[in-house]
């Protein structure tokens, strides 16, 4: 029987089920309150949100992260906050859950086995912020090159980068691919693949 609950009702159910583990972040203005949880409780709480029949959040719309280095809020005590946008296709209600990630030890359990769509969002949060998601089957960088030195959307990373955008060879006739792609200098990538040195 589909029944749409409001954000406050869902928050109350969550706080009734997990007392003392959920801190509501009261938002000023017209935005609703969202729960902030610690990373130990991420998997139990999110599994509960998916499996509870009245909530039934079977759709994970987005996983992202925010760097709260320059914004001091009392509910958010750590530097990083990973935000999950949940949606229930059956009951048609939305919910947002936020999990704290400390700066010195940026790891968080992955929720890829609960919702498969978490894979991409976690890869991007890892790429942009450096947060390690334990249990993600494919945690590589998504948008930046593999050996990029830095995590761009952190607040202490400069907007204009650190010179990576100028570090290319200029074209001259006779420029070989070994100069453009250094790994090509000793044989092309597809040659290496076809010789069997890749899995």
User: Binding of other proteins at residue 73 (CB under 8 A)?
Assistant: yes
User: Binding of other proteins at residue 193 (CB under 8 A)?
Assistant: yes
Q: What does DSSP say about strands 59-67 and 132-134: parallel, antiparallel, or unpaired?
A: unpaired
User: Binding of other proteins at residue 120 (CB under 8 A)?
Assistant: yes
H or E element at residue 134: strand 132-134
Residue ranges in 142-171 that form contacts with other proteins under rule CB under 8 A = 142-150, 152-153, 155-171
Handedness of CA 65, 69, 72, 77 (dihedral sign): positive
Distance CA 26, CA 58 (A): 25
Listed ranges 8-16, 40-48, 81-89, 100-108: which one lies at the site for other proteins (CB under 8 A): 81-89
CA atoms within 13 A on the CB side of 82: 32
Q: Which of 49, 60, 82, 111 is the binder for other proteins (CB under 8 A)?
A: 60
Listed ranges 13-21, 40-48, 52-60, 102-110: which one lies at the site for other proteins (CB under 8 A): 52-60
Listed ranges 16-24, 38-46, 99-107, 191-199: which one lies at the site for other proteins (CB under 8 A): 191-199
Q: What does DSSP say about strands 107-109 and 34-37: parallel, antiparallel, or unpaired?
A: unpaired
Distance CA 15, CA 182 (A): 55
Q: Which of 92, 105, 107, 134 is the binder for other proteins (CB under 8 A)?
A: 92
Q: Name the minimum Å distance from CB 175 to other proteins.
A: 5
Size of the site for other proteins (CB under 8 A): 81
* Closest to other proteins by CB, 41 or 154: 154
Within 10 angstroms of residue 70's Cβ, the number of other Cβ atoms is 7
Dihedral, CA of residue 75, residue 19, residue 53 and residue 34, to nearest 10:
-10
């Amino acid at each position: 029987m589909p029944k749409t609950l409001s954000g406050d009702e869902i928050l109350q159910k969550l706080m009734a089920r997990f007392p003392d583990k959920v801190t509501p972040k009261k938002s000023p203005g017209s935005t609703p309150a969202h729960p902030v949880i610690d990373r130990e409780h991420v998997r139990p709480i999110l599994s509960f949100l998916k499996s509870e029949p009245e909530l039934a959040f079977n759709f994970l719309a987005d996983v992202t992260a925010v760097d709260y280095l320059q914004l001091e809020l009392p509910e958010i005590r750590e530097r990083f906050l990973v935000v999950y946008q949940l949606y229930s296709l059956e009951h048609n209600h939305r919910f947002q859950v936020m999990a704290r990630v400390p700066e010195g030890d940026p790891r968080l359990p992955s929720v890829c086995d609960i919702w498969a769509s978490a894979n991409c969002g976690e890869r991007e949060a890892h790429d942009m912020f450096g947060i390690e998601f334990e249990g993600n089957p494919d945690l590589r960088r998504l948008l930046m090159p593999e050996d990029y030195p830095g995590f761009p959307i952190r607040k202490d990373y400069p907007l204009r980068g650190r010179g990576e955008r100028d570090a290319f060879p200029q074209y001259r006739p006779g420029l070989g691919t070994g100069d453009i792609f250094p790994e090509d200098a000793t044989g092309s990538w597809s040659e290496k693949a076809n010789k069997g040195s890749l899995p």
